[in-house]
Structure 1
């Protein structure tokens, strides 16, 4: 679990930081061509200028750059042998859950409202999905959220080895939705 936290946190942090760097470069140089503007369907620049990209009044990637530090720090602490109380795991899972819901909302907005996909945003989505599912099943299965071993912990312990299924199904649902909504995307990338 510690490595999952470090890896997903690092990937999410990288995606968010790349978005911040691209945004700053585009603001300081109006002629700058954003690196992730691949075509009209894959364009970070098109997404950056939408209201959804600054939901709380500042660019969303700032949330990612600060938020993805938490799983990295928790993962490193676990590798060092740290132990955390139930309240900590409850707050951590709560934060990861909020990030997951936010990513799903951003996905929905990108696909169905904005009509453009942001490659760096998708890197953040790709990190948040396994982060959520792994944290959820691991914290339930290991009893991090409960005082005694009960049905929920036993059930989660049976599900834990199959966490990858939840991750793959979520990725597949997103990929199939993108293919259905953007049928010309594969052709525009020369993949069809």
Structure 2
């Protein structure tokens, strides 16, 4: 009697998440790099995202935090957002990966989330200006980290044992709540720190 083996289902939703967030984040980072070049060419140039006393990309770019490693931060995004796009594409092609691969990739997403969280705190409490392109990068990194991490836990791809996998499976139906809570926290802080930001746009 012959037996057939059912091929594992491809994680289409996760792949689409990676591709879409990676592509939009790459688009935002690319525009930030173009704006950086425009400011190098003409330091007095008014950028299209310099729209109010509170929303001003030029002032954010000119800050020390905008060049944390000695070069413009957007170059990190320009390189980094290629990774989730590539991983999403190979997932659609049937790539399954190994535990060490998913651990390294998820570690990179965690570091990206930590970095944009730090940039958010610096932007709000120290720089004092908001950058729309930067906020778009935040908006893509947040669900990319939370949703993928919970999925990765649920699949047992991370080296945290069976208990962590059970936690991931329990959280998976509610994974949307984590980026939503992250968004709400950022929105509330911005509205508290910049109470007039909406009226000046």
Give deviations 1:158-177, integer Å, cap 9, x for gaps.
Answer: 10121110011000000000
Please report the TM-score for the alignment, with normalisation by the length of structure 2: 0.90
Please report the TM-score for the alignment, with normalisation by the length of structure 1: 0.95
1:166 corresponds to: 178
2:142 corresponds to: 129
Partner Cα distance (2:141, 2:74) in 1: 13
Partner Cα distance (1:31, 1:44) in 2: 13
Partner Cα distance (2:51, 2:92) in 1: 39
Partner Cα distance (1:54, 1:14) in 2: 19
Measured after TM superposition, the shift of residue 32 of structure 1 is 2.9
Partner Cα distance (1:117, 1:32) in 2: 18
2:32 corresponds to: 19
1:7 corresponds to: 20
2:190 corresponds to: 178
Unaligned runs of 5+ in 2: 1-13
1:36 corresponds to: 49
Give deviations 1:99-130, integer Å, cap 9, x for gaps.
Answer: 00000000000000000000000000000000
Moved >6 Å (runs of 4+): none
Partner Cα distance (2:167, 2:132) in 1: 36
Partner Cα distance (1:82, 1:20) in 2: 32
Number of equivalenced pairs? 188
Partner Cα distance (1:3, 1:161) in 2: 17
1:151 corresponds to: 163
Partner Cα distance (1:10, 1:114) in 2: 27
Q: Which structure has the bigger radius of gyration? A: 2
| Equivalent in 76, 79, 85 of residue 63 of structure 1 | 76
